[in-house]
């Protein structure tokens, strides 16, 4: 019996050593290739698009964890992603990558904010400037200038920095599944007219569905009108299935960087 225990113990130690060596090998390879660049046909990259809403001063202002993230947590997440080798890109770069015009680094991601809330300007924008990362802000046109939301002057300041893209989250945040296709298209077209009236011509048009609600007919119609479109379904984009008219987005919430990374890998496997 004693000999059997010793054998089992030795096997367990060998397995543990092999696991450690395997993980070490993966980490070493990952670090060695982190700056590798690939065209869309060369590798099946994971490209997470993170969706936030508001960045607040402290935890006392959090009512719903999917709506508010503290600036301290947000900064830790951004710094953590950079430390893990993530390269922050824009939708313009993603479109060029899809069209095989540019390559992307092995680890690339996009940061987005919905609703055009003031905390993004006050708390997230300075962090973006500090780390020199781009992000996209989806604004609700009829909420602009209202209490708790950004102003057009603030939107222009962020856009002019070269870091921030201002895009559409509709005119009035309706449930799109309740709109006929023509009304849905009109709503988005009007929202972009307002953006261009206030901020100048936009080289790329991006739309995010309120509540994540949409119909296939709406997606087709908006595609025909030239809109890149975002869903909010907690999935990860993969380059071999990259669909600019149905991009996946996921919530970082207030997760630690390690939890964020684990979720990326889990979702990539779970929704393969």
CATH no. for 40-270: 3.20.20.370
Domain ranges of the chain: 1-33, 40-270
User: pLDDT class for 220, splitting at 50, 70, 90?
Assistant: very high
pLDDT at position 272 is 73
Selection from 95, 176, 172 nearest residue 136 by Cα: 95
> Would you state the structure tokens that stand for residue 229, as one six-digit string?
């479109």
Tell if the pTM clears 0.85, that is, is over it. Answer: yes
Helices (H), the chain: 2-33, 71-83, 91-98, 118-119, 125-131, 152-160, 181-199, 216-224, 257-270
Q: Residue 7: is its pLDDT beyond 90?
A: no
pLDDT at position 26 is 43
Mean pLDDT of 86-97: 98
Cβ burial, residue 160 (10 Å; 0-12/13-18/19+):
exposed
CB 181 within 8 A of CB 221: yes
Q: Residue 58: is its pLDDT beyond 50?
A: yes
Q: Residue 55: is its pLDDT beyond 50?
A: yes
Mean pLDDT of 34-42: 91
- State how far the Cα of 256 lies from the Cα of 81, in Å rounded to an integer: 10
- State how far the Cα of 158 lies from the Cα of 129, in Å rounded to an integer: 10
């Amino acid at each position: 019996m004693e000999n059997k225990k010793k054998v089992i113990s030795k096997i367990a130690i060998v397995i543990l050593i092999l696991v450690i060596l395997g993980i070490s090998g993966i980490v070493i390879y990952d670090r060695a290739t982190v700056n590798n660049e690939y065209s869309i046909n060369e590798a099946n990259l994971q490209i997470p698009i993170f969706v936030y809403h508001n960045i607040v001063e402290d935890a006392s202002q959090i009512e719903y964890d999917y709506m508010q993230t503290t600036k301290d947590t947000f900064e830790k997440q951004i710094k953590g992603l950079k430390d893990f080798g993530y390269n922050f890109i824009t939708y313009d770069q993603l479109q060029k990558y899809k069209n095989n015009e540019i390559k992307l680094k092995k680890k690339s991601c996009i940061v987005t904010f919905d609703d055009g809330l003031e905390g993004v300007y006050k708390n997230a924008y300075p962090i973006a400037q500090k780390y020199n990362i781009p992000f996209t802000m989806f604004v609700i046109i009829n909420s602009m200038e209202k209490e708790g939301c950004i102003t057009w002057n603030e939107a222009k300041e962020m856009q002019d920095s070269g870091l921030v893209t201002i895009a559409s989250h509709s005119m009035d945040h309706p449930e799109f599944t309740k709109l006929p296709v023509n009304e849905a298209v009109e709503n988005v077209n009007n929202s972009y007219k307002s953006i261009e009236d206030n901020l100048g011509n936009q080289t790329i048009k991006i739309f995010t569905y309120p509540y994540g609600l949409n119909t296939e007919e709406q997606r087709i119609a908006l595609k025909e009108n030239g809109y890149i479109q975002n869903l909010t379904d907690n999935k990860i984009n993969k380059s071999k299935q990259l669909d600019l008219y149905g991009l996946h987005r996921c919530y970082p919430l207030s997760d630690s960087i390690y939890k964020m990374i684990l979720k990326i890998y889990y979702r990539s496997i779970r929704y393969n």
